[in-house]
Amino acid sequence: MSQSHRCCATSRGMSAVLSLLIFALLILPQQPVEAAADGLPTFAGPAMGTTYRVTLAAPVPGLSLGQVHREIDRLLAQLDAGLNTWRSDSDASRFNRAVTTDWLEVSPELADVVSIAQRLHSQTAGRFDITVGPLIDWHRKHPAANAQDVATTRAPPAKILAHVGSPMLHVRTATASNPAALRKDHPKLTIDLGGIGPGYAVDSIGDRLTALGSASHLVELGGEVRGWGTLEDGHPWQVGIASGPEGSAVSQQISLNSGEAVAVVEHVPTRPIINPRTGQHPGSGPPAKRIIRATTCAEADALATASLIPHNRH
């Protein structure tokens, strides 16, 4: 596809990152059949505070493009009502406001994404943590005096650290006898899904398209990208890495295996990250672009965030 189908670049990984340089992803045409690629069924719209775009390798049997579009919009509205912490009436916001350690009933989607986040917290040895929001807020209110102080070892006070940590968050998936629910050990614990929610939405869209009968599609939401199947000629879906967060020149081309997701990030030393295990700015080396591939977009999103945090605790 043409550069008019350029993916949006948004702030990634607020669960552990104050500010990152996010490389735009461009959906590329399959050379030398650019005209045919430009004609693939495509629809787009607003979603979760950003935008999404779906490209189908072929029409969905028995459904018009408009019908498929409306079905995906309904799905996104459902996800937004559960996951969007910018909405005061969402399940995630209700959980954050609840000053209790009792189980709180939530949507199955919210329980699912928290369950995935908990698994990734364990997989990354705590480098990805959806409860780290209070640390981010503290550092925003207490910024480093200058660029040279960005990587200092200042830590938030113990009263802030006391209600941060995924081990204090518990999830119960829905069963025949019990609804999905979340519980926190500390009443002030909160969750921030900015580092996994968009990726989870991409996975959900792609799975819903498969259920509707699509054999091959490419889904992008807020810079998160995953491909299913291949184009009709057998070529894989391809995306390109732009030369910068607002650039349009392609510096690298990536082919996606069926079901594969990709995330691309680069840490800029003057834009600090937060180690959720310590609440501090970890030391960092020169800027380094990281290309993260994973079997789901939620994983790619979270692992991209975690890749910027040192394996040790400092």
pTM, entire model: 0.84
Q: Evaluate if residue 192 carries a pLDDT over 90.
A: yes
Decide: 226 and 209 in contact? Cβ < 8 Å: no
Q: How far apart are CA 268 and CA 291, in angstroms?
A: 15
Q: Among all chains, which residue has been given the structure tokens 């669960």?
A: 15
What is the pLDDT of the chain when averaged over all its residues?
Answer: 82
Q: How far apart are CA 9 and CA 22, in angstroms?
A: 6
Q: Evaluate if residue 8 carries a pLDDT over 90.
A: no
Q: Evaluate if residue 17 carries a pLDDT over 50.
A: no
| Per-residue confidence (pLDDT) for residue 54, from 0 to 100 | 97
| Per-residue confidence (pLDDT) for residue 140, from 0 to 100 | 81
Q: Evaluate if residue 152 carries a pLDDT over 70.
A: no
* Residue whose C-alpha is closest to residue 293's, from 268, 256, 238: 256
Query: Torsions phi, psi of 202, nearest 5?
Result: -60, -45
* Residue whose C-alpha is closest to residue 77's, from 89, 66, 64, 65: 89
Q: Evaluate if residue 46 carries a pLDDT over 90.
A: yes
Confidence of residue 141 (pLDDT cuts 50, 70, 90): confident
Q: How far apart are CA 66 and CA 50, in angstroms?
A: 21
Q: Among all chains, which residue has been given the structure tokens 């459904």?
A: 63
Cβ neighbour number for residue 289 with a 10 Å cutoff = 13
Q: What percent of the chain has pLDDT over 90?
A: 57
Q: How far apart are CA 39 and CA 47, in angstroms?
A: 24
Domains and CATH numbers, the chain: 1-314 (3.10.520.10)
- Comparing 120-134, 153-167, 236-250, which segment has the lowest mean pLDDT? 236-250
Q: Evaluate if residue 266 carries a pLDDT over 90.
A: no
Cβ neighbour number for residue 39 with a 10 Å cutoff = 10
